[in-house]
Structure 1
Amino acid sequence: MQFTMLSKLRAEEAPNAHCISDSNISLTNYEFHKAVLRAAGTMDSQGICEGDVVALMLPNQVEFVVAMFAAWYLGAAITPINPMLTHKEANHQLKDSGAKLLINLTGEKIDNNVSSIAVTMLKHGDEFQHAPVVNPEALALLIYTSGTTGLPKGVMLDHSNIIAMTEMGREGLQISEKDHCLLILPLFHVNGIVVSILVPLASGGRVTIRQRFDIETFFSDIEQLRPTYFSAVPTIYAMLYALPKEVVPDVSSLRYGVCGAAPASADLLVNFEKRYGFPIVEAYGLSEGTCGSTLNPVNGIRKAGTVGLPLPGQKIAIADFNGRHLSVGEIGEVLIQGKNVMRGYLNKPEETAKTVVNGWLHTGDIGRIDDEGYLSIVGRLKEMIIRGGENIYPKEIEDTLLEVAEVFEAAVIGVSDEKWGEVVWAFISLKPNTECSIDQINQYCKQHLTRYKQPEKVIVLPTLPKNAVGKIDKPKLRGLYQVQGA
């Protein structure tokens, strides 16, 4: 089922059933479909047609989803832009994507060559009267990578990609029309779009949108809205776990929480479930794979410290630097194969050819697969530290640091060293109202890590910097190192 048809089908099957809401608006299936038709009419009046790209620079709100479905109805693709970007940063994405129309809160122009309208205009268009464009090969999403090295690249995902990913996610997460997702992750990221919007809506379920994660209101939302699941990043789970012990919310509606975007420590996963009573199912994936590729089973053995088993319809392999597939238990690059693998990087055929080889997506992540098929992520190829010829994977050290009771967050980077080539530096933040000396940290590392893996320097920060998706921002930490090391 292509998503251009979804709003119409939901309206026909259950017109009065709840579809989607945020803090300001709540739409039934019928109302959602009508909103999509009006938005499509507005875009049509702006000259948007099949093959065009529409940029959405909006915070999390119902209108984002309406605009996305309206663009698809016309046969256009969307490229979501982080609304917190500066004009210079946003301008790169507008130009690179070839966007014809920008929809933002005010209608302010960012690029003189791109038309802009305020999101409120979507409500006032005449309903689009023609049939929707149905083409599985049409571009659906242009998702820009975080750009931690160089300028962000546009990941091209067509409708066949998102259809396949949604079916895989629905089967893996066991989502049905009874499910209600609370969205707290940003909609400019593929995780928010796929796991929290497309999967529940394609399953006949409903969605409640929040602009962002708010630790002050999160559990009251859970108690009042009664969602059945949500998706978050490890930092959010760590913040929730660090709440005072007297915080005992009613979370009985939740079947599970999904954890993705970055690896979580095994201790956090186990202890979180013990405290709150609902499981975290850890997943793994990337934009180039349309979102998710592995998942710890919802009903089955969940192995803390792994990111689970391949989702239905996908294959996972581990390869050496020459692309040779390795045996069970060996460490190498994680490869992914399936209908969810991207079409390629926009206007970058050489980079595409290096990333997708013989149908296998080379992720740049380092991992291993155990004898039961569970994948563990060890680190990133580009983050691997080589000290005196020894390969060091930051996640192993980060997990060790997180075992210290007072440590809230940990990040490890490699720093140039004249003697060893690289040495380990660790950045940590502490849990509220706790104290822990650097000497204590060093002693713990000496007890649990072999000498070459032990941090040469430990730096305690009030909080570790995050990127827009909530991952710890290691490039910023490297910039901080340059200051610290001066």
Structure 2
Amino acid sequence: MNVSDQLSETAKQYPEKIAYVYQGKETSYAELDRAITQFASGLMSLGYQKGDHVALIVGNSPYYIVGLYGALRLGLVVIPINPLYTSTEMSYIIKNGDVKAIITMDNLLEKFKTINDQFSKVNHYIVCDSHSNQQPVSFLQENSKSFTAVLKLGSPHFTGPVLEEDSMAIILYTSGTTGTPKGAMLSHKNLYSNAKDTADYLQINEHDRVIAALPMFHVFCLTVSLNAPLMNGGTVLILPKFSPTEVFKISKQNEATIFAGVPTMYNYLLRGGKAKVDYFSSIRLCISGGASMPVSLLKAFEEAFHVKVSEGYGLSEASPVTCFNPLDRPRKPGSIGCSILNVENKVVDELGQEVPIGEIGELIVRGPNVMLGYYKMPEETAAALKDGWLYTGDMARMDDENYFYIVDRKKDMVLVGGYNVYPREVEEVLYAHPNVTEVAVIGVPDPQTGEAVHSFVVIDKPSLTEEDLIEYCQAHLVKYKVPTSIDFLEELPKNTTGKILRKNLRDKVRY
């Protein structure tokens, strides 16, 4: 089974049920499945066949869902790309990914004007109408087709090819904050198994209405907010982009039951929505991932909105979910929870041996969700996949009840005079300060200790000083973990999924 075929099965079971809501318009499962089939057939009419690569550069919209599932139904390999990327960033992925067709919005076409000549393999641009009165782009000439025209080319009676479960379905390029982006190859089995196991673990069913505010090009949204509800007859409430006001509005209007987001989103919702607590009254579950959620934020959000937040963990290479806090047992603040169904996690030392309970090591993962490898990168694949296990690069520990705790990224650890300092531990202390709203900690060179702890903070009290916060940390941390310097920023740099960009912060630091 694969996610596209499963959607067809769901459409047969719930033909009149609402599959998604977008800008107030409801679309049934029967209507969605018909559009997906026609789009797949239309792509075949243009000459595309099983195994060809197509880039999907579209924001949160029905275009994304139909484009994704339609391409998968034909057996194409989909490469989702962040629409906010620059021409240079897009160019690398399109060329490295051997893309033959680009599905994108008309208001993004200018980005391709200077780089189109580099794409010798691209046969078509399939252009989605943004309703923004865009002028025609002359450089495309004859290799441009509208999304609507491709739909009209297709037949609703089309039967796609047989898709082998181990064949490639998606290539997800890592954000590339450190070095060249790597394309994680995910199979049909990877996507299907992770969506099913996540849905079963979190009890996502046909009664759920899931807010899709995360970017659809990101694997967190793909699995938790799209694939999991759509394979079970749930309804996806599509937001073009995250906005606290719009999240509350769509939640109230549609009696949403699930919200999934990264910690930054929860921070914005908490700060801007205390007067709208009743707008979340129908929410049964909030899901957090993408980065570690500060315990102080988690507790404050739950107290304000009277809803449980289940923090989990995942990475693109694992499709992405490996852990979630369970719903049938106590949730542990600060923990990423336990292994989901059919997935194994363990913590190992430098030799790959499992460490004792409570000790810190690298988190490794095994299961049907683990990627095939990195596209055209055999050495990087060999470094990440060893004896069937995916080495995540995250440092973690496990307690005696099999709950895991992420300590930090292996590469982000700070070595102060021979002592390991994990940024998250320092960040948790600073987050607990009543006037600190955002924190990021990095290591900086130090002539005496090799490295020292440096912090970037966002505060809501202008009179707070560097000395005040250092003194605060001294009361809660051993000396070598205390920041030796602090920079105050109006906002921490983040990518489009809300993850803090530590590389950008390292470029800012004063040495």
Residues 229-254 of structure 1 deviation map (CA, whole Å, 9 limit, x = unaligned)? 02100011112222374443332211
- Whether 1:461 and 2:489 are equivalent positions in the alignment is yes
Correspondence for 1:385 among 414, 422, 431: 414
Amino acid at match of 2:294: S
The answer for the alignment partner of 2:147 in structure 1 is 122
The answer for the alignment partner of 2:333 in structure 1 is 304
Residues 16-64 of structure 1 deviation map (CA, whole Å, 9 limit, x = unaligned)? 1111222264311111112112211331232211001110111110110
Closer, same or farther: CA 49–253 of 1 in aligned 2, 3 Å: same
The 4+ residue runs of structure 1 with deviation greater than 4 A are none
Amino acid at match of 1:306: S
Quote the Cα distance in structure 2 between the aligned partners of 1:244 and 1:39. 40
Equivalent residue of 1:408, what SS? strand
Quote the Cα distance in structure 2 between the aligned partners of 1:476 and 1:440. 25
Residues 303-331 of structure 1 deviation map (CA, whole Å, 9 limit, x = unaligned)? 00111011011111111112121111110
1:90 Cα deviation after fit: 0.1
Quote the Cα distance in structure 2 between the aligned partners of 1:46 and 1:259. 41
The answer for the alignment partner of 2:280 in structure 1 is 251
Quote the Cα distance in structure 2 between the aligned partners of 1:388 and 1:151. 31
Equivalent residue of 1:449, what SS? coil
Equivalent residue of 1:195, what SS? helix
User: Any conservation in 1 of the 2:45–2:154 contact (CA below 8 Å)?
Assistant: no
Quote the Cα distance in structure 2 between the aligned partners of 1:73 and 1:32. 13
Deviates more, 1:276-285 or 1:29-38: 29-38
Correspondence for 2:395 among 366, 382, 389: 366
Amino acid at match of 2:357: V
Aligned-residue RMSD, C-alpha: 1.5
User: Any conservation in 2 of the 1:293–1:336 contact (CA below 8 Å)?
Assistant: yes
1:274 Cα deviation after fit: 1.1
Residues 368-388 of structure 1 deviation map (CA, whole Å, 9 limit, x = unaligned)? 000000000110111011111
- Whether 1:324 and 2:353 are equivalent positions in the alignment is yes
Residues 270-319 of structure 1 deviation map (CA, whole Å, 9 limit, x = unaligned)? 22111110111000010011111110112321000111011011111111
Amino acid at match of 1:83: P
TM-score using structure 1 length: 0.96
The answer for the alignment partner of 1:162 in structure 2 is 191
User: Any conservation in 1 of the 2:171–2:186 contact (CA below 8 Å)?
Assistant: yes
Equivalent residue of 1:230, what SS? strand
The answer for the alignment partner of 2:448 in structure 1 is 419
Equivalent residue of 2:51, what SS? coil
User: Any conservation in 2 of the 1:104–1:116 contact (CA below 8 Å)?
Assistant: yes
The answer for the alignment partner of 1:265 in structure 2 is 294
The answer for the alignment partner of 1:346 in structure 2 is 375
Amino acid at match of 1:376: Y
Closer, same or farther: CA 245–339 of 1 in aligned 2, 3 Å: closer
Equivalent residue of 1:354, what SS? helix
Amino acid at match of 1:479: D
Structure 1: gaps (5+ residues): none
The answer for the alignment partner of 2:169 in structure 1 is 140
Quote the Cα distance in structure 2 between the aligned partners of 1:206 and 1:244. 24
Quote the Cα distance in structure 1 between the aligned partners of 2:34 and 2:338. 40
Quote the Cα distance in structure 1 between the aligned partners of 2:44 and 2:76. 10
Correspondence for 2:320 among 291, 307, 313: 291
Identity of aligned residues (%): 35
Equivalent residue of 2:278, what SS? coil
The answer for the alignment partner of 2:137 in structure 1 is none
Deviates more, 1:170-179 or 1:249-258: 249-258
Correspondence for 2:469 among 430, 441, 465: 441
User: Any conservation in 1 of the 2:14–2:233 contact (CA below 8 Å)?
Assistant: no
- Whether 1:470 and 2:498 are equivalent positions in the alignment is yes
Amino acid at match of 2:16: N
1:202 Cα deviation after fit: 0.6
Closer, same or farther: CA 25–123 of 1 in aligned 2, 3 Å: farther
Equivalent residue of 1:274, what SS? helix
Closer, same or farther: CA 218–4 of 1 in aligned 2, 3 Å: closer
- Whether 1:451 and 2:476 are equivalent positions in the alignment is no
User: Any conservation in 1 of the 2:41–2:158 contact (CA below 8 Å)?
Assistant: no
Equivalent residue of 1:116, what SS? strand
Amino acid at match of 1:316: N
1:127 Cα deviation after fit: 2.5
Q: Tell me the number of residue pairs that the alignment of Structure 1 and Structure 2 aligns.
A: 482
Amino acid at match of 2:159: A
User: Any conservation in 1 of the 2:435–2:459 contact (CA below 8 Å)?
Assistant: yes
Amino acid at match of 2:45: S
Amino acid at match of 2:506: R
Quote the Cα distance in structure 2 between the aligned partners of 1:302 and 1:470. 24
1:4 Cα deviation after fit: 2.8
Equivalent residue of 2:8, what SS? helix
Structure 2: gaps (5+ residues): 130-145
